[in-house]
Structure 1
Amino acid sequence: MDHTPDLAAYFDRIGYRGDPQPTLDTLRQLHVLHTEAIPFENLSPFLGEPVELDQPALEDKLIHRGRGGYCYEHNLLFSRMLQALGFEVAGLAARVRLNQPDHVQTPRTHMLLRVRLDEGDYLADVGFGGLTQTAPLKLVPDVEQATPHEPFRLIHTDGLYTLQALVAGDWRTLYQFDLQEQQLPDYQLASWYLSHHPQSHFVTGLMLARTEPGLRHALHNNRYTLHHLGGASEKRELASVDELLDVLQTQFRIRLPETPGMRDKLERLLATEPS
């Protein structure tokens, strides 16, 4: 049975109060509000919980239970809300290149969106962790595009697009993709692998991110960083489970799950981190 997206609950979750017409201005507002309100987080695969990608499960988790998720959860929820508003949206897949040597081949494990507007095609992506773009980007190569946070640009070579962000004066490559449309089974297969493989970084550690105006919050295991746009970063190591749980709730605004054994799993994670 088809599920009608709960737009009212979604708007309340992200704090949207505008006129929801399928326009570029609406897309921009929803894009930045989503990244501020709903954190990128991988608690479910880390704790051994299933990651479900159907619409009722996504709404329950990311909207009603005050949680976040990783790229498939964010961008599937976002795409379905956009489609309910009348936007024309297609899902794409990318190979993550951030922090990867040039010679290393990576799988297509990241999801992003192409949104077709009267002004042209735009890329939307509310689920790329610590460098999630905070505005849709026009699908035009070799042009620096401003966002509420870092500038981004696209490079196009032989049918392949490369997305880069300008960080501390350097263009950093985030991922590469083409325009072949993906379907839900494509994402379900990749998501199952990322949330189950014993060497997946979503299974072995914690990764969280959330934006605010002029700020980015990031957590990797016990290392919490507050990045100031155009300024210095504040770094802090979390020494206890209570300190970690406090940061999850206050800085990432996560309503913690009542998962049996969560404290023990976090204790083991902290024990493996260098002090």
Structure 2
Amino acid sequence: MSDREKFDLDAYLERIGWAGGARADLATLRGVHLAHALALPFENLDPVSGRVPSLEPADVVAKMVHGRRGGYCYEHNTLLRLALEALGFRVTPLAGRVVLGADTPESRPRTHAMLRVEVPGEPLPYLADVGFGAIGALLAPVPLTVGEEFEDGGRRHRFTRLPHEGPLELWALQAYDGVARDWVSQYAFTLEPFTAADFEVFNWHVGSNPRSPFTRRPYLQRTTAERHLALDGARLTETRADGTVAVRELAGEAEARRVVAEEFGIEVPEGLELLGRLSGG
């Protein structure tokens, strides 16, 4: 039995709160993508606990659909790929370099996962990505074309091409920063397809390397219609829909566990002490 045949689509749609169409069309793709992005948080508590997250479909479903957990990009986009394929879409996994804060695209390895989705009746494929842990992340899929600006869930994105020496065109997803009033590149990628074996290697590196930021401190994100929450170490940042930002430091273990449980909707893994991690210990 294939992953598509074993995937419990109804349980997934219930988990993300999507009660709209369940067909391979653009309205369903947009609706499911947005519902997923708003329902399931980004989190790295397994790597912080010393465990590399499993990308086996059954494990991803058990953790994110049936458990009170989120995940990072490989888990999120594995789950979305399974759902979209069950709905009848043709999906190709892609890999990118996170260039947000980087000097050059080449200074970062390919560690981010995203999806190229073909939509029946649409002339262009779409980029879908529910696993980018930043406020510049996509909330809805956008067509793969350069020269247009897209509004997705209240955010603004566009694609551009970056100069490089490789044989394939290098795309960059840019998000509009309303504070800086400028476009900021989030990640760069080519349209070369990647396989589950590739992502197993990426996942092992990101989830186990002591130099990886995801193994060193908790990093959580959650987006709602009213605000975006980010927990980076001990710092909690709230960005509201009107652009106002509030930042504060968490005081201790009890507050950290309460915030993770109540604000992010995540069950803290057994044995993980947040206090030491959040205070840099």
Q: TM-score range by the shorter chain?
A: over 0.9
1:255 aligns with 2:267: yes
Return the alpha-carbon distance in structure 1 between the equivalents of residues 173 and 262 of structure 2: 31
Asked whether the 8 Å contact 2:217–2:278 carries over to 1, the reply is no
- Map of 2:204 onto structure 1: 192
> Which ranges in structure 2 are unaligned for 5 or more consecutive residues?
164-168
SS at match of 1:129: coil
Deviations 1:121-161 (A, max 9, x none): 10000000123210001101121110113200000246110
Q: Which residue matches 1:32?
A: 34
* 1:83-232 → structure 2 map (5 Å cutoff): 83-102=85-104, 105-117=107-119, 118-119=121-122, 120-130=124-134, 131-157=136-162, 159-168=169-178, 169-232=181-244
Q: Measure the CA separation in 2 of the matches of 1:103 and 1:248.
A: 33
Partner of 2:279: 271
| TM-score normalised by L of structure 2 | 0.92
Residue 29 of structure 1 and its aligned partner are, at CA, apart by 0.7
CA–CA distance in structure 2, aligned partners of residues 254 and 167 of structure 1: 28
Question: In 2, Cα distance between the equivalents of 1:26 and 1:127?
Answer: 19
- The residue type paired with residue 204 of structure 2 is W
Q: Distance in 1 between matches of 2:226 and 2:182?
A: 19
| CA gap 1:83/1:36 in 2 versus in 1, 3 angstroms | same
Of residues 235, 243, 248, the one that matches 2:255 is 243
In the alignment, the residues of structure 1 paired with residue 159 and residue 106 of structure 2 have an alpha-carbon distance, to the nearest angstrom, of: 21
Q: How many residues end up aligned between the 2 structures?
A: 269
Tell me, in whole angstroms, the C-alpha distance in 1 between the residues paired with 2:154 and 2:220: 17
| One-letter code aligned to 1:51 | P
Q: Is the 8 A contact 2:174 2:183 kept in 1?
A: yes
Distance 1:228 1:271 in 2: 25
Could you state the TM-score of these two structures normalised by the residue count of structure 1? 0.94
- Letter of the structure 1 residue corresponding to residue 137 of structure 2: T
Q: Which amino acid aligns with 1:16?
A: W
Most deviating of 120-129 and 141-150: 141-150
Question: For residues 95 and 270 of structure 1, what CA distance do their matches in structure 2 show?
Answer: 27
Instruction: Report Cα offsets for 1:17-68 as digits up to 9, x if no partner.
Output: 1120111110111111111111000000001123100110000001111101
> CA deviation digits over 1:140-193, x for unaligned, max 9?
112111011320000024611011000122211100000000000000000000
Aligned equivalents of 2:12 and 2:154: distance in 1?
A: 23
Q: Which residue of 2 aligns with 1:48?
A: 50
CA 1:51–1:223: 2 relative to 1, 3 Å = same
CA distance, structure 2, for counterparts of residue 23 and residue 230 of structure 1 = 32
Equivalent residues of 1:239, 1:270 under 8 A apart: no
1:71 alignment partner AA: C
CA RMSD of aligned residues (A): 1.4
Residues 88, 116 of structure 1: 8 Å contact kept: yes
Equivalent position SS for 1:198: coil
- 3-state DSSP of counterpart to 1:191: helix
User: 1:104: Cα distance to partner?
Assistant: 5.8
- Offset of residue 226 of structure 1: 1.2
Shift of 1:71: 0.3
One-letter amino acid of the counterpart of residue 228, structure 2: R
* Structure 1 unaligned blocks of 5 or more: none
